[in-house]
């Protein structure tokens, strides 16, 4: 049977739940550094000018890695004030205005790239469609959501698991899934449990073309 941690889906519940986890040091998801698959993806990016968002960033090792490697328009958001405080202390030179303590679902602006690292799995399943819509809003035309999604289920939630079928069903109407594959460079404890995905935003015209093609087939 799946057990649920004491986790509210309302914004205030969510903030105090996650903040308490940081306060108690119950942050088993935090691997202490940028994950290998995300690092390797970042390392092959050509433009340091990309406007990049890390949602549900936690201690934000990805943001730190990007910043230390010359990316100059990196933004992060997390609902837990303590996670944000930790990051500010660890990376005092990171542009302060790009560090947001708040709810991802209330975020505004648009980005050229959004990196996913154990944020989707932190959200209750009823939030998943909202996540997809919000990602679509936050990306500029033709830009991408890239990252790791769990390919397994968990006995205690969160994290909430998933599989390829679920992700395809969620993303395919608003996005083109350019890559979905078993991650070949996961960190050791996550070997076999992750999918690496590159998900490209489609415009209304592209979605319209796609549905015409499907209808004609």
Ligand X SMILES: C[S@@+](CC[C@H](N)C(=O)[O-])C[C@H]1O[C@@H](n2cnc3c(N)ncnc32)[C@H](O)[C@@H]1O
Chain residues in the site for ligand X (CB under 6 A): 14, 18, 29-30, 56-59, 77-80, 83, 103-105, 117-119, 122
Which residue, 72, 59, 12, 44, is CA-closest to 185? 44
Nearer of residues 57 and 113 to ligand X, judged by Cβ: 57
Contact between 143 and 111 under an 8 Å Cβ cutoff? The reply is yes
In the complex, the smallest distance separating the C-beta of residue 172 from ligand X, rounded to whole angstroms, is 24
Nearer of residues 57 and 114 to ligand X, judged by Cβ: 57
In the complex, the smallest distance separating the C-beta of residue 109 from ligand X, rounded to whole angstroms, is 14
Task: For the chain, give the number of residues.
Answer: 217
Contact between 171 and 132 under an 8 Å Cβ cutoff? The reply is yes
Alpha carbon distance, N-terminus to C-terminus of the chain: 42
Helix or strand holding residue 29 (H, E): none
In the complex, the smallest distance separating the C-beta of residue 118 from ligand X, rounded to whole angstroms, is 4
Nearer of residues 153 and 203 to ligand X, judged by Cβ: 153
In the complex, the smallest distance separating the C-beta of residue 104 from ligand X, rounded to whole angstroms, is 3
Nearer of residues 119 and 167 to ligand X, judged by Cβ: 119
Which residue, 110, 148, 111, 160, is CA-closest to 3? 160
């Amino acid at each position: 049977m799946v057990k649920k941690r004491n986790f509210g889906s309302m914004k205030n519940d969510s903030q105090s739940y996650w903040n308490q986890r940081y306060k108690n040091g119950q942050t088993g998801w935090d691997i202490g550094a940028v994950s290998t698959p995300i690092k390797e993806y970042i390392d092959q990016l050509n433009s340091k000018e990309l406007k990049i968002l890390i949602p549900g960033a936690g201690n934000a090792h990805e943001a730190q890695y990007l910043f230390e490697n010359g990316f100059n328009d990196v933004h992060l958001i997390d609902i837990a004030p303590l996670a944000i405080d930790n990051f500010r202390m660890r990376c005092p030179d990171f542009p302060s205005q790009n560090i947001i303590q708040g709810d991802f679902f209330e975020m505004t602006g648009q980005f050229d790239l959004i990196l996913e690292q154990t944020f989707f799995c932190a959200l209750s399943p009823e939030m998943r469609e909202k996540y997809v819509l919000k990602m679509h809003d936050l990306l500029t035309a033709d830009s991408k959501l890239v990252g790791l999604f769990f390919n397994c289920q968990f006995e205690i939630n969160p994290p909430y698991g998933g599989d390829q079928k679920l992700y395809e069903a969620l993303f395919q109407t608003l996005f083109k899934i350019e890559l979905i594959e078993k991650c070949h460079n996961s960190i050791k404890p996550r070997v076999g449990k992750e999918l690496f995905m590159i998900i490209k935003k489609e415009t209304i015209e592209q979605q319209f073309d796609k549905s015409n093609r499907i209808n004609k087939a």
